[in-house]
Structure 1
Amino acid sequence: MRAALDEVHIPVEALKGRGSATRLAHRFERDARQAFDDGWGTLAEDLAQAPQQLPTEVIWEDARSIIGSNDSPDIFFERSLNPYRGCEHGCIYCYARPTHSYLNLSPGLDFETKIVAKRNIAAVLRAELSKKAYEPKLIAVGTATDCYQPLERELRLTRAVIELMHETHHPFSLVTKSSGVERDLDLIAPMAARGLASVCVTLTTLDAELARRLEPRAAAPHRRLRTLKTLSEHGVPTVVSLAPQIPFLTEDMEQVLEAAREAGARSAFYHVLRLPWEVNPLFKQWLELHYPQRAARVMARVRELHGGKDYDSDFATRLKGRGAWAQLIAQRFEKAAQRLGFNRERIRLDTSQFRPPGPEGQGQLF
């Protein structure tokens, strides 16, 4: 293993509520440190004194731009925004973990405990929407990290974004694993009634114990189903994401779809597990920690999905995989979705109602 991927382990019992068991050195680091037992017992003493819980730290950022563009042919949206970098939910499979490397932070525990918050997000977004050349298109919110992670209760950055979307009649969709989205139904529901908003809830599995290990600080599966139901009852178009599908772990696809349909979801999709950059060693560590007996089988199937490699970034196959196992997952999804009535109509949001925002602080007359 390269020096850049050496890690410093922390005792498992000290990681309550965290997905990663290590501060994995990021791929740009020149130096890496590894715990070493010198024979004097100091390592054991240090580990015994490690904190039982790791606190979350907020790092404020003054962003220069907010709306990101996407030209990946396998992604449905062209524009997105994310109020936060890093995510307290701690999902071990999160493909956004390697982005913390650009901040000189670990994609492991730092990604879960050092959260960058874009405190000026509403002001910068207002300026971008006010440009004369701005052309309204759907903006997907929270596509990299969850826009309703626990810090949002206090910081309300996502709320500020939706308030601006509401003011300008700008269409948006958002994706979350959190019940916190219910807080903003006073804005989302009226926009949904005008064809301006939809919500996607990620529901990887109904197995509460597996979900707790995979996504330690996200809402429990039954709570996400209740969120889907609440959103649907308020007239919000809802989508359920079964991502990622992990061989020999998330084996209840049909049951998830049935429960989501009963809760009111009308659209659904899935992706297979992706392990880019540092996500690969982090996920392998997680497997050995929580499911050592089936770790080799899981990784063998993951490689089969990606042409014999742990990960293949090819746009044509990275989300759905390739080979016999990918075909089996696709057939299961298609048959269940068709039987339950998913995806019969595409959710289309209206861009024609957009009106540029006024100066910050200026009230609306009508």
Structure 2
Amino acid sequence: MLRGGFWEMQARTVIERLPATAGVSQQWGVSPYRGCAHACRGCGARGGHRRLGLDAGRDFDTRIVVRPNVVERLRAELSRWDGEPLAVGAGGDCYQEAEATYRLMPGMVRALGEAGVPFTVYTKSPLVLRDAPLLARAGARVAVSIAFVDERIRRAVEPGAVGAQARLELVSALVEAGVECRVLMGPVLPLLSDAADQLAATVRRIAAAGAAAVEPVVLRLPPGTRSWYLEWLEQAHPGLVGRYEELYDGAGLPAPEYERRITGQIEQLCRVYGMACGAGEPVGRRRPGGEQLALV
């Protein structure tokens, strides 16, 4: 059903297994929305729109599918859930514009908190601050996605999302509100945002914002995402297309040696700036703007 520019679809089940290409540590997730107005070129969830009879490109960006019964279904499924951690928002940012209209997240956060299930909310949107007290009481983690701090790259590959500075300020605000906040540093874009100075600048500013940890993720190109991203790359950086074809396997995963090199660099930078790196267990709260070490 089309309503207010959004496509409503009643869900039969809402807790779903995530593919290996999702780029997050959880194996299971729940998403109130499918598709995302942030229109990120490299979003690994694009292929999900194909299963709805929509395309993984423009439709994913503009035809946002809403699951209005998500809270009801989530409560029913949590009643028999075994307690495995859940990712919230892997199929589309759970605090994108649609959430301002439907307000599904407060009910989901309450359901997850009452069930005692560990969960991480993945978002780029400042709207998450609306629910900060609720998220803190539920013991939620929030992972704010900040892959790079170069605004030229952001405008090209994340045209519908707020800029990096706004997201860094969001991290600081969440930390001050008592929410365990980390940064999903992904997707790192091969040959575009993976230079040593780019990685260092990003980690330095994440640390200054007070994030508890960084989870690095190199770009994935599963079916659906691959064609849409490479179409843009062919137009914007045609000389890189062949190198991408060599770097990625048929499933859309980057070459293991490349991924290890990039995540290793980020892990080293995190040690310099006193942050945890990777999914791991909850870590101590850091204050924004604390004194930081300088890289030589």
1:115 is matched with 64
Among 63, 76, 81, the alignment partner of 2:11 is: 63
1:303 is matched with 245
Whether the 8 Å contact between 2:129 and 2:174 is mirrored in structure 1 is: yes
1:270 matches 2:204 = no
The offset of 1:95, in angstroms, is: 1.3
Deviation string 1:55-112 (CA, Å, 9 cap, x unpaired) is x831111111111235859853232101111111100111111211111111111111
Whether the 8 Å contact between 1:266 and 1:341 is mirrored in structure 2 is: no
- Structure 1 stretches of 4+ with a deviation exceeding 4 A read 70-75
Among 194, 201, 204, the alignment partner of 1:255 is: 201
Whether the 8 Å contact between 2:186 and 2:218 is mirrored in structure 1 is: yes
User: Which amino acid is the alignment partner of residue 232 of structure 1?
Assistant: V
1:213 is matched with 156
Stretch moving more, 67-76 or 279-288? 67-76
Q: Report the Cα distance in structure 2 between the residues aligned to 1:332 and 1:348, rounded to whole angstroms.
A: 22
1:79 is matched with 28
Among 79, 91, 103, the alignment partner of 2:40 is: 91
TM-score when scaled to structure 1?
0.69
Task: State the number of aligned residues.
Answer: 275
| Secondary structure of the structure 2 residue equivalent to 1:247 | coil
Aligned pair in 2 of structure 1 residues 130, 276: CA closer, same or farther (>3 Å)?
Answer: closer
Greater C-alpha radius of gyration: 1
User: Which amino acid is the alignment partner of residue 336 of structure 1?
Assistant: L
The 5-angstrom pairing of residues 123-162 of structure 1 reads: 123-131=72-80, 134-162=81-109
1:236 is matched with 179
Whether the 8 Å contact between 1:304 and 1:322 is mirrored in structure 2 is: no
Structure 1 residue runs of 5 or longer lacking an equivalent are 1-55, 350-366
Deviation string 1:179-230 (CA, Å, 9 cap, x unpaired) is 1111101201223xxxx21111110111122212211111211010011001
1:330 matches 2:263 = yes
| Secondary structure of the structure 1 residue equivalent to 2:134 | helix
The offset of 1:304, in angstroms, is: 4.0
1:180 is matched with 127
TM-score when scaled to structure 2?
0.84
Structure 2 residue runs of 5 or longer lacking an equivalent are 284-296
| Secondary structure of the structure 2 residue equivalent to 1:151 | helix
More helix by share: 2
Q: Determine what percentage of the aligned residue pairs are the same residue.
A: 31
